[in-house]
A and B are shown apart, each in its own frame.
Chain A
């Protein structure tokens, strides 16, 4: 820790604690103290390991040491439920060691109900919670009393969720808290972000960004990042870096503790198996991802915290928070997708600012090599990916309004003012607010059918109130922002649960099938509505295909990859096979300049291929593939299918595309896009989420928890009925907004189409080009049926079943 001559004026208990450790208060910790003394809101932006959490709590500790109070003083909100390890080190230990009479308690969905009741009756000075649990606390009639004394709210890891639905909910909660405790200070802690002002604006009450101090932590020592290339070769295809298992194992052997990050859960399982095969020393290695059972995750987290593991294969489930202490190497399998994400992952290693973090990237193919190179350059230059802040969603607003109604009667005018004081809702017009209110009241339908069944009524006093306590109880049971995909439980016959997989994946399995899960090869014994019963097997498992979010490459990184492609001066840095790949491409086709959109067409084995190198990321390309193949169908080109990755889109058809410009025209977004999204499962999936969050359907009823599966059934049907009779309904609007923003990446798609005509360079080739190979090898691996109606699929299924069942 750095010494500092200007020690702040600290109470003896706190000053003594620092002194006993030979520490001094660091600069950013002082700045946070100063902001607190001045009564100002504050955003602390600092790299991981900079003592951020303590900096966030320090002002509250000091205040409580100076002026003890037996009421709620500080609220700490984290997106993570698993706070235990981190908070013990950063908060409980210091408070104990300082000998302060400060009670600290946690409150999450897992907290027993008797403790929850006690917390409301006799709140601790510091309460640690999640956005969802905070919203629930605010839905009780005693919320006003409970929070009246609140001085500070500390929001941790704000970069991880401020611009998502949980961020919308928290912003609304902050507005409410501010009304209950007008003097409350807002404090947020963030990893290094591209645009701290965007987060200041999010944090600020009533859009007053100047009320928020920006405090920057000291930059850490630059990370030491390298690209791992076994024998200096990069494979043509693949996207996982699996070929490098031996080298990865060698890295684990030579480090204390290594985290191996993978981009999907399925990949994590495969990589774990690959590593296990070459783990000749039988080192303790573990696996951690969001599908594993909570017990399995807690066990691995405990083993990590205790320093028992040498390696941990993980996914984004580890991206957040939890501080692992002794990790000295981070390995990224496959492409990093974005420089901010890479930096945050690297931040998992070596939490001492005076030593560099060490990281190794393992690109899976040649494009991914360029992406890894680009990410490294971006990190060197300190370029981060900007975060996009969109308007707050209406389903979250509905949930919040219901919570407010459960707490106490409210006047619409006052609540509207309060809601628009939250940054995500600052642009919300009164008409939309009223529609949401009407929706809470009786469903918001044009047909006045439910006047008798209203959940809210407007009293003669001008206040809205809940008509029956039962509705408040229902709200509290159903509130929450995370809506899981329908899942089935993976378990052994003896009942031991291993975790959950998406129902879609389970539905494709039959007894005798094998797959990797929880680090084991498993054989299916039985599949039923809620369970996948398995046993361990030594048979080799087939590739798991359970899904999980796939993040697209960031715009910044994509731009860098384009520049690397085109800038010959960079090529000497590349391995020989990547260089050769680019040189042959240059000779045989075109290497597009960063501004150009290269489209190649060529025949191969009786089919005609078109590959567009648009670099807009996997989601946008997937959407574009659906749309373009439809157009090809209409144009009589007889498309057979398409493949998409982060860099390009490839189509194949029986007739050649001669005029690609006609396919890439922006009007596709007006007609075909709408038609496609409405007919696709995307919107139904989005609708399911908004219907649950918005409280249209219950996720849970008193005494019985619905399985995710039952929820799916009914929301699909509700969607159909609503679309047929009231297509302009609030929830359909909300589902549309979600589908556009998150699922189809329509922003990048629109950019691509709007500029395609000016930027397109079409090259007609006699045969496949080098750049097309990493794209087209995907064909046959991802056999997604395109353009086929459900009927055709059913007919095909019948044929297969008949063939399989035929007695020869």
Chain B
């Protein structure tokens, strides 16, 4: 956990790709894409049916590690709106355990718009929390400080003949984009023009390592 300051608010960035907000004891994650594997399985690609279990286990561990009292999921929490119905018993139990013991909010995204309200926790299109806008996809026209997901940013670089790729945060003046947290979520190059347009203005890719936050300027 390393300090990440955004819009005057102190956060802790976790190397698993989540953000902790100490003042509220809130954990923020984006793009869980639960039940992505079973969505593919319906269509003939039998991906390992363990992605929801893996994602929820990682999330549970972070909740325990940080002592979070609130969890905000910034959209695309399920790979599709029917994903909740396909959860295995084991994944369902893990999720119920979380949503029943923590103040849980689902912000919906393009994949899980129309998420059923009986999933546990509250379902919202977006939220404003202590002056910060939380939504799924960054709104270029909105000048308020904003936390979002959607793009799955990932930093790729070559160093000494080796390729390193890591999920990363992308920060601009008033926008902070979280990496995808789901076990089977791929990434988009942090320097991709689509991310640049969403952030608008100079942006940095932020990568938490053991003791500090690495910062890479992204080409405008």
Where the two chains meet, the residues of A that have a C-beta atom closer than 8 Å to any C-beta of B are 439, 442-445, 447, 449-450, 452-453, 455, 468, 470-471, 474, 504, 507-508, 529, 681, 696-698, 710, 713-714, 717-718, 720-722, 724-726, 729, 782-785, 788, 790-791, 793-798, 801, 805
Q: Are B42 and A453 in touch, CB under 8 angstroms?
A: yes
Asked if B49 is an interface residue, CB under 8 A from chain A, the answer is yes
Interface residues of B in 140-168 (CB under 8 A from A): 155-164, 166
> What is the distance, in angstroms, from A562's C-beta to the closest C-beta of chain B?
30
User: Which residues of chain A are within 8 angstroms of B210 by Cβ–Cβ distance?
Assistant: 791
With A794-B164, A797-B159 already in contact, the answer to whether A718 and B47 are too (CB < 8 A) is yes
Q: Are A785 and B159 in touch, CB under 8 angstroms?
A: yes
Provide the main secondary structure of the chain B interface. mixed
Where the two chains meet, the residues of B that have a C-beta atom closer than 8 Å to any C-beta of A are 37-38, 41-42, 44-51, 53-54, 88, 155-164, 166, 183-187, 189, 192, 207, 209-210, 214-217
Partner of A718, one of B38, B48, B215, B217: B48
Nearest A-chain residue to B210, judged by Cβ:
A791
User: Which residues of chain A are within 8 angstroms of B48 by Cβ–Cβ distance?
Assistant: 443, 445, 718, 721-722, 725-726, 729
With A442-B46, A504-B158, A721-B50 already in contact, the answer to whether A453 and B217 are too (CB < 8 A) is no
19 A-B pairs (CB sep. < 8 Å): A439-B46, A445-B49, A447-B49, A449-B38, A504-B158, A529-B192, A721-B50, A722-B48, A724-B50, A725-B48, A726-B48, A729-B48, A784-B162, A785-B161, A791-B210, A793-B160, A794-B209, A797-B157, A798-B216
Partner of A450, one of B41, B159, B215: B41
Nearest A-chain residue to B161, judged by Cβ:
A784
Q: Are A717 and B161 in touch, CB under 8 angstroms?
A: no
User: Which residues of chain B are within 8 angstroms of A474 by Cβ–Cβ distance?
Assistant: 44
Q: Are A794 and B166 in touch, CB under 8 angstroms?
A: yes
User: Which residues of chain A are within 8 angstroms of B159 by Cβ–Cβ distance?
Assistant: 785, 793-794, 796-797
Q: Are A455 and B50 in touch, CB under 8 angstroms?
A: no
- What 6 A-B pairs come out closest when comparing CB atoms? A443-B46, A713-B186, A449-B49, A785-B160, A725-B50, A793-B159
> What is the distance, in angstroms, from B202's C-beta to the closest C-beta of chain A?
12
User: Which residues of chain B are within 8 angstroms of A801 by Cβ–Cβ distance?
Assistant: 216-217
Q: Are A470 and B44 in touch, CB under 8 angstroms?
A: yes
With A696-B45, A795-B209, A795-B214 already in contact, the answer to whether A721 and B183 are too (CB < 8 A) is yes
Q: Are A798 and B46 in touch, CB under 8 angstroms?
A: no
CA distance A649 to B140 in the complex (A): 55
> What is the distance, in angstroms, from B36's C-beta to the closest C-beta of chain A?
9
User: Which residues of chain A are within 8 angstroms of B217 by Cβ–Cβ distance?
Assistant: 801, 805
Nearest A-chain residue to B189, judged by Cβ:
A529
Nearest A-chain residue to B182, judged by Cβ:
A717
CA distance A782 to B215 in the complex (A): 28
Partner of B44, one of A471, A717, A724: A471
> What is the distance, in angstroms, from A574's C-beta to the closest C-beta of chain B?
35
CA distance A450 to B161 in the complex (A): 41
Q: Are B46 and A453 in touch, CB under 8 angstroms?
A: yes
User: Which residues of chain A are within 8 angstroms of B215 by Cβ–Cβ distance?
Assistant: 798
User: Which residues of chain A are within 8 angstroms of B160 by Cβ–Cβ distance?
Assistant: 783-785, 788, 793, 796
CA distance A697 to B44 in the complex (A): 9
CA distance A784 to B49 in the complex (A): 37
CA distance A722 to B37 in the complex (A): 12
Q: Are A720 and B183 in touch, CB under 8 angstroms?
A: yes
CA distance A801 to B85 in the complex (A): 47
User: Which residues of chain B are within 8 angstroms of A797 by Cβ–Cβ distance?
Assistant: 157, 159, 164, 216
With A793-B160, A797-B216 already in contact, the answer to whether A443 and B187 are too (CB < 8 A) is no
CA distance A324 to B180 in the complex (A): 53
Q: Are B161 and A782 in touch, CB under 8 angstroms?
A: yes
> What is the distance, in angstroms, from B94's C-beta to the closest C-beta of chain A?
13
> What is the distance, in angstroms, from A710's C-beta to the closest C-beta of chain B?
7
CA distance A443 to B42 in the complex (A): 12
Q: Are B50 and A697 in touch, CB under 8 angstroms?
A: no
Q: Are A783 and B209 in touch, CB under 8 angstroms?
A: no
Q: Are B47 and A697 in touch, CB under 8 angstroms?
A: yes
User: Which residues of chain B are within 8 angstroms of A529 by Cβ–Cβ distance?
Assistant: 189, 192
CA distance A797 to B210 in the complex (A): 16
Nearest B-chain residue to A713, judged by Cβ:
B186
With A696-B45, A782-B161, A796-B159 already in contact, the answer to whether A717 and B216 are too (CB < 8 A) is no
Q: Are B51 and A450 in touch, CB under 8 angstroms?
A: no
Q: Which of B160, B183, B207 has the most CB of A within 10 A?
A: B160
CA distance A455 to B166 in the complex (A): 35
Partner of B184, one of A442, A508, A721: A721
Q: Which of B51, B155, B186 has the most CB of A within 10 A?
A: B186
Q: Are A443 and B184 in touch, CB under 8 angstroms?
A: no
Partner of B164, one of A713, A717, A790: A790
Given contact pairs A443-B49, A717-B186, enumerate 12 new A-B contacts (beta carbons under 8 Å). A444-B46, A445-B48, A474-B44, A504-B158, A507-B157, A529-B192, A698-B45, A718-B47, A788-B160, A790-B164, A793-B162, A797-B164
Nearest B-chain residue to A452, judged by Cβ:
B42
CA distance A721 to B155 in the complex (A): 21
With A793-B164, A797-B164, A798-B215 already in contact, the answer to whether A725 and B46 are too (CB < 8 A) is no
User: Which residues of chain A are within 8 angstroms of B158 by Cβ–Cβ distance?
Assistant: 504, 507-508
